[in-house]
Structure 1
Amino acid sequence: MFESYVTGLLVGGGLIVAIGAQNAYVLSQSIRREHHWWSAGVCMISDIVLFTLGMFGVSAALTAMPQGLEILRWLGVVFLGWLAVQAFIRVIWGRGALTAKQQQRRSLKGVLLTTLAVTLLNPQVYLDTLLLVPAVGAQQQSTTGFLLGASSASVLWFGGLAWFGSSMAPVLSRPKVWRIIDGLIGLMMLTIALKLALVGLE
């Protein structure tokens, strides 16, 4: 079981780190210290639920309905493109100008809904959690151990992002630093959106 757990930890961790939209959003919330643990928690729970569903056969149903992934693909393109535009606006005007037009802090509900959208509107998430992870997990001696390992990877990664971002907030929240961070976030979101639109799902 331990070997399966370690395999799940490594495979799950590698896939989670590669999903840039989630990481960028959670880190952004963490640096702002704006409901960041809630945001990280949503990502953790989403991963665990999707990993579990994938291991119990939802991947077969997903494969049988490719049109569903196609719809998610274009929803993801639109949403990630919108997030990129918002980030580039903050690069130009700064977060102070943006905040002046909005409430000082976003509501917990708003943060949770945006986190869910970033997570669930990216079809790559479904390919990773419902197809790739179960494909590897099915080959393990202990599927339960593998599932626990993959789930642990999500908890450790998003917990680490929430802690790191909030701990480094005094340094990372400076206006000039935030312009750089927002620029990188914008580029990351735009790159993912363009890849989904032009290349599709591999």
Structure 2
Amino acid sequence: MAASSSFLTGFALSAGLIIAIGSQNAFVLRQGLRREHVGAVVLFCACADLVLIAAGVAGLGVALKGLPGLVTLLALGGAVFLGWYGLAALQRAARPERLVADQGGAARSLGAALAQVAAFTFLNPHVYLDTVLLVGSIGAAQPAGAQGSFVAGAGLASAAWFTALGFGARLLAPLFARPAAWRVLDLVVGATMILLAFGLLEYAFDGRA
């Protein structure tokens, strides 16, 4: 039961954080529309997320082993962040934007495409705040033996999103160019994040953290 719950928590958390208008998503969409190195770019993004998530969970898990009180503080901090993130998503839903990929320019080599997506991934400070610190702290706070399930769920959500975005680009591009689609996504993300925040609050105050 704990493993399946942690898997779903990881999946929902990762999905909520990764589905957003940003340079990395726009680049993956562009590569999909141009059908250039799509598999390599999708694989890089999914593997990078998995490594960062696993590193965050493992590193923070080791650091928190002898500090149970810090787990409670991280759970509370995570709840505050997720609540803020959820409210921000609901505010975005009131003023939706759209994701449009730039399809211009010359074709890129595989090396150039991977270098660019690596820059979008690792030079973005939010990846370390969201993927490593936030996801890592929540994953490390999962019940003993369930951290692996959390990482698997979070990694699967990331892989599924990038696969859909890259290989389904020609079908998804018209949808993501419509603000109404992002309104629906942000409403779902906002509700999910707020529910996760309440779950963390319950975890922090029920005496197990």
Q: What is the TM-score of this pair, normalised by structure 2?
A: 0.58
The whole-number CA distance in structure 2 between the counterparts of 1:18 and 1:131 is 18
Change (3 A) 1:167 1:18: closer
The whole-number CA distance in structure 1 between the counterparts of 2:22 and 2:8 is 23
Q: Say whether 1:146 aligns with 2:150.
A: yes
Residue in 2 that maps onto 1:17: 19
Shift of 1:121: 0.5
Q: Contact 2:57 / 2:136 at 8 angstroms: preserved in 1? A: yes
Residue in 2 that maps onto 1:114: 116
Deviations 1:30-85 (A, max 9, x none): 1111112211111101000000110111697xxxxxxxxxxxxxxxxxxxxxxxxx
The whole-number CA distance in structure 2 between the counterparts of 1:168 and 1:57 is 36
Unaligned ranges ≥5, structure 2: 64-99, 179-209
Residue in 2 that maps onto 1:28: 30
Change (3 A) 1:57 1:19: farther
Change (3 A) 1:168 1:145: closer
- Name which of 122, 136, 139 aligns with 2:138: 136
The whole-number CA distance in structure 2 between the counterparts of 1:19 and 1:39 is 18
The whole-number CA distance in structure 1 between the counterparts of 2:109 and 2:28 is 15
**Amino acid in the other structure paired with 2:158:** S
Give identity over the alignment, percent.
41
Shift of 1:138: 2.2
Q: Secondary structure at the match of 2:19?
A: helix
Deviations 1:5-54 (A, max 9, x none): 00000001111113622111101111111112211111101000000110
Change (3 A) 1:38 1:167: farther
Residue in 2 that maps onto 1:187: none
Question: After the TM superposition, which residues 87-102 of structure 1 pair with which residues of structure 2 at under 5 Å, given as runs?
Answer: 95=104, 99=105, 102=106
Q: Contact 2:60 / 2:140 at 8 angstroms: preserved in 1? A: no
Q: Secondary structure at the match of 2:33?
A: helix
Q: CA RMSD in A?
A: 2.8
Q: Secondary structure at the match of 1:18?
A: coil
How many residues are treated as equivalent by the alignment?
Answer: 136
**Amino acid in the other structure paired with 1:132:** L
Q: Contact 2:60 / 2:137 at 8 angstroms: preserved in 1? A: no
**Amino acid in the other structure paired with 1:17:** I
Residue in 1 that maps onto 2:46: 44
Q: Contact 2:6 / 2:150 at 8 angstroms: preserved in 1? A: yes
Deviations 1:133-187 (A, max 9, x none): 0121122221111111000111110011012114568x79xxxx9xx9xxxxxxx
Residue in 2 that maps onto 1:198: none
**Amino acid in the other structure paired with 1:143:** Q
Q: What is the TM-score of this pair, normalised by structure 1?
A: 0.60
Q: Say whether 1:127 aligns with 2:129.
A: yes
